[in-house]
């Protein structure tokens, strides 16, 4: 059966409010508890600790001696590493410097070789051109053209390969001779002996002299060239050159090589001397600057010492003056205390005498007139209580004299001998203390 909608709603609401073991809650209380449950549901769940990390300290501490030994070993290792790195750096610098010096020397030698080769090439070209223009005389008679049949192109031709081989042989011989001459000249210069005995005649202009006709070949009268086209091949096959001419040319070439090498050696020596002179100049400038620096340091040290002595003297004078001032202040204080003490003693003594005199005068019933207008009785006058325009103001001596005169007058008027002696004693005492 179908039931009404409001009846089902009321039943569901009743069943939804039953909590806590079937206890029925009111709607307000149920809504409040539901709101609290919603708030608690939005919070993060609590994390329960499952363990803890516990780290214990060192049970036994290292002894200070062991720790100091470890520190010393570490410092020694660090120092050793630093010394090793410094030694490696110094060796690397030494190698670089030696390599630079070797490269510089090699460049100079290459430059010298290039200069010598250039000069030799120029001389060779000039000699070849001169030889072509002025062929040397042949000591052999001229051969007829018909007798040179075996030397004709039909018999044998000079090939380009043979000419190339001959030129390569000449180049090798030239290099060998150049190296030999340079080695010989270098050995002679190293031994400080430029000319051997018996070789003075090899130098055209003498030792270290310049000759205008040095390394110049003598002119040979020109001969007409042969008309045969096989003349060059004939000369190659049978060179008919004068041995004396070859010896003279070799000698002049040797002298030229030696002169060039010696010039290059002289340039190197001059460069070395200039470098040494430059280094000496740098060392002299450094020594002068070091001397100036030392003199400046000595001057500054002397000025500092003078300033310190002057400061010490001023401090000593200040201390002496301060001590003198303190001594003077102490003396003044002593004098002031002595004066105060003396004045107090005098005041007490005078007051005591005044009291005794007053007592005596009262016993004898003697009335004395006032000494000044500052008081009504004789005893009202006093140097401390009188007015500032009074003659007895701060004048104990005048007060004592006036007192002495009054007491003498009283002594004369009364005529008492005993009282007069006592009065004179009082006046004498007052005068002495005043």
Task: Report yes or no on 390 lying in a domain.
Answer: yes
Which H helix or E strand runs over 18? strand 18-19
Q: pLDDT digit string (tens) for 69-123?
A: 999 999 999 999 999 999 999 999 999 999 999 998 888 888 877 877 877 777 6
CB 264 within 8 A of CB 116: yes
As a whole-number percent, the residues of the chain with pLDDT over 70 amount to 53
pLDDT of residue 110: 83
pLDDT of residue 148: 41
Give the whole-angstrom CA distance, residue 171 versus residue 386: 145
pLDDT of residue 233: 42
Tell me the residue range of the domain where 360 lies. Answer: 335-433
Task: Report yes or no on 388 lying in a domain.
Answer: yes
The per-type count for the chain, helices as H runs and strands as E runs, is: 8, 2
- Tokens matching residue 381: 């006058």
Task: Report yes or no on 393 lying in a domain.
Answer: yes
Average pLDDT over the chain reads 70
Q: How far apart are the first and last CA of the chain?
A: 147
Task: Report yes or no on 86 lying in a domain.
Answer: no
Task: Report yes or no on 274 lying in a domain.
Answer: no
Task: Report yes or no on 275 lying in a domain.
Answer: no
Residue 93 vs residues 103, 104, 107, 348: alpha-carbon distances, Å: 15, 16, 21, 103
As for how many domains the chain has, the answer is 1
Q: pLDDT digit string (tens) for 15-42?
A: 444 444 445 557 777 777 766 666 555 5
Q: Which residues lie below 8 Å from residue 395, measured CB to CB, with a gap of 6+?
A: 383
Average pLDDT in the 242-247 region?
84
User: pLDDT higher for 152 or 344?
Assistant: 344
Task: Report yes or no on 372 lying in a domain.
Answer: yes
CB 184 within 8 A of CB 259: no
Q: pLDDT digit string (tens) for 137-179?
A: 444 444 444 444 344 444 444 444 444 445 566 667 766 777 7
pLDDT above 70 (res 298): yes
Task: Report yes or no on 398 lying in a domain.
Answer: yes
Give the whole-angstrom CA distance, residue 399 versus residue 405: 10
Output the DSSP codes for 36-100. HHHHHHHSPPPPPP---------SSPPPHHHHHHHHHHHHHHHHHHHHHHHHHHHHHHHHHHHHH
Is the whole model's pTM more than 0.85, yes or no? no
pLDDT of residue 139: 44
pLDDT of residue 231: 44
């Amino acid at each position: 059966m179908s039931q009404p909608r409001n009846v089902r709603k009321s039943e569901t609401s009743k069943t939804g409010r039953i909590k806590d073991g079937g206890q029925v809650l009111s709607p307000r209380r149920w809504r409040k508890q539901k709101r609290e449950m919603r708030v608690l549901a939005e919070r993060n769940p609590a994390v329960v600790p499952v363990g803890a990390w516990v780290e214990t300290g060192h049970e036994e501490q290292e002894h200070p001696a062991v720790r100091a030994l470890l520190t010393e070993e570490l410092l020694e290792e660090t120092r050793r590493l630093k010394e090793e790195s410094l030694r490696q750096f110094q060796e690397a610098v030494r190698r670089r410097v030696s390599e630079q010096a070797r490269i510089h020397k090699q460049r100079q030698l290459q430059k010298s070789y290039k200069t010598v080769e250039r000069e030799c090439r120029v001389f060779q070209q000039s000699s070849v051109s001169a030889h072509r223009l002025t062929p040397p005389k042949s000591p052999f008679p001229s051969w007829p053209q018909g007798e040179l049949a075996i030397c004709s192109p039909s018999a044998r031709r000079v090939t380009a390969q043979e000419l190339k081989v001959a030129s390569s042989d000449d180049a090798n011989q030239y290099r060998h001779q150049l190296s030999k001459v340079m080695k010989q000249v270098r050995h002679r210069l190293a031994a400080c002996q430029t000319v051997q005995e018996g070789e003075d005649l090899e130098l055209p202009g003498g030792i270290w002299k310049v000759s205008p006709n040095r390394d110049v070949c003598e002119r040979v009268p020109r001969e007409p060239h042969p008309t045969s086209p096989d003349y060059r091949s004939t000369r190659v096959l049978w060179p008919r050159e004068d041995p004396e001419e070859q010896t003279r040319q070799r000698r002049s070439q040797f002298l030229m090589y030696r002169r060039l090498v010696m010039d290059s050696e002289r340039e190197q020596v001059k460069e070395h001397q200039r470098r040494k002179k430059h280094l000496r100049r740098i060392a002299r400038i450094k020594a002068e600057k070091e001397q100036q620096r030392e003199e400046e340091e000595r001057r500054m040290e002397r000025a500092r010492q003078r300033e310190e002595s002057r400061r010490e003297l001023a401090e000593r004078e200040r201390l002496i003056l301060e001590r003198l001032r303190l001594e003077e202040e102490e003396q003044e204080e002593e004098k002031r205390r002595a004066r105060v003490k003396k004045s107090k003693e005098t005041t007490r003594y005078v007051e005591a005498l005044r009291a005794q005199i007053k007592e005596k005068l009262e016993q004898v019933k003697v009335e004395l007139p006032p000494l000044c207008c500052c008081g009504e009785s004789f005893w009202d006058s006093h140097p401390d209580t009188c007015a500032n325009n009074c003659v007895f103001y701060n004048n104990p001596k005048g007060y004592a004299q006036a007192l002495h005169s009054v007491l003498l007058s009283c002594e004369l008027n009364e005529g008492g001998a005993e009282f007069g002696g006592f009065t004179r004693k009082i006046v004498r005492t007052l005068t002495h203390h005043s």
